[in-house]
Amino acid sequence: MMKHQWKLSLLILFIVLSFTINIFGLMHLYPIYLTSPLLFLSLLLMVHYINNRKKFRGFKS
């Protein structure tokens, strides 16, 4: 249980950090073509983690 909370908190921190860097990219401090994929990757990892948490993997026989 604690491992899942640790991963979730790291993913949320990664999203906040990449969103902040993306805002800097919109202010032309960083190139936007580097910051936008970083934000997309962080959101994709978060959706992938949330989607695969409680997956039914079949009955073990």
50 near 44, Cβ under 8 Å? no
List, for residues 7-54, the tens digit of each pLDDT value: 899 999 999 999 999 999 999 999 999 999 999 999 999 999 988 877
Q: How confident is the model at residue 1 (pLDDT cuts 50, 70, 90)?
A: low
Residues 48 and 18: their CA atoms lie apart, in Å, by 17
Domain ranges across the chain: 9-52
Predicted model pTM: 0.81
| pLDDT at site 36 | 96
